[in-house]
Amino acid sequence: MTAIDFLRRPAVVSAWLAPILFIGGTTAAGLAWPAYSPVHQTISELAAGDAPTRAFMTAIFALTALCHAVTGTFATGIGVPGRVTLLVASIALFSVAAHPLPTVAGTSVDHTVSAMIGFVLLAAWPLLGIRTVGSMPSAVRSRGGITGTLLLTALCVVFLVVWAGHDSGSLGVVERAAAYAETVWPTLIVSALFIAARRQSAVV
């Protein structure tokens, strides 16, 4: 395999930009809304219809989704099923942005379904993206893919249990643990691919 088989340059930019936008954006939005509690409230509430941070947070959702779409398209070292899953996850995140909660205290079936689909797909793609070619880094081989999906799934299950139990005491914390980890994981994989590509280029 040649170095370009690992990934294209846009994937490096998008994979690093996604967590900067999402983690930085949610943090900034929370700070801009003094009454908001990142410990007790969900990220979605920052984009609710009556939230003062609605426009900003909606843009963050959309930009993060775009980053995942670019990563899925250009991170060619990831197995095709994983790349497709990442692309579909980006569509789910766009849907989250397009279907916000009507109010901070309100609910939305479209929003909830879109968010749940996004969580599931962002947890599943490392397993589906496994490559068995010897020259690929361990991050995208069996051990890395299985570890990634198990870890992300565990965090999502904890969030689902807390959310289903209506435990607002730690809801914001457990959601962020899951959502932030899912946003960072593509960065870790693309970084591993980038390092492997550089090493291969140096040998060649």
- Residue 48 and residue 197: Cα distance in Å, rounded? 42
In tens, the pLDDT along 147-159 reads: 999 999 999 999 9
Nearest to 43 by CA among 145, 183, 198, 148: 183
Q: How confident is the model at residue 120 (pLDDT cuts 50, 70, 90)?
A: very high
At 200, the pLDDT band (50, 70, 90 cuts) reads confident
Q: Which DSSP state fits 140?
A: G
Domain ranges of the chain: 3-203
Among 162-166, 183-187, 191-195, the minimum mean pLDDT is found in 162-166
Tens of pLDDT along 15-52?
Answer: 999 999 999 999 999 999 999 999 999 999 999 999 99
CA–CA distances in Å: residue 44 to residues 18, 22, 108: 17, 12, 11
In this predicted structure, what is the pLDDT of residue 132?
Answer: 87
Distance CA 159, CA 151 (A): 13
Single pTM value for the model: 0.93
| 64-24-120-61 Cα dihedral, nearest 10 degrees | -40
Percent of the chain clearing pLDDT 70 (strictly above):
96
Name which of 38, 89, 44, 90 is nearest 63 in CA terms. 90
Write out the DSSP string of 31-72.
HH-TT--TTTS-SGGGGSTT-TTHHHHHHHHHHHHHHHHHHH
Cα–Cα distance for residue pair 169/7, rounded to 1 Å: 42
Dist. CA 204–CA 202, nearest whole Å: 5
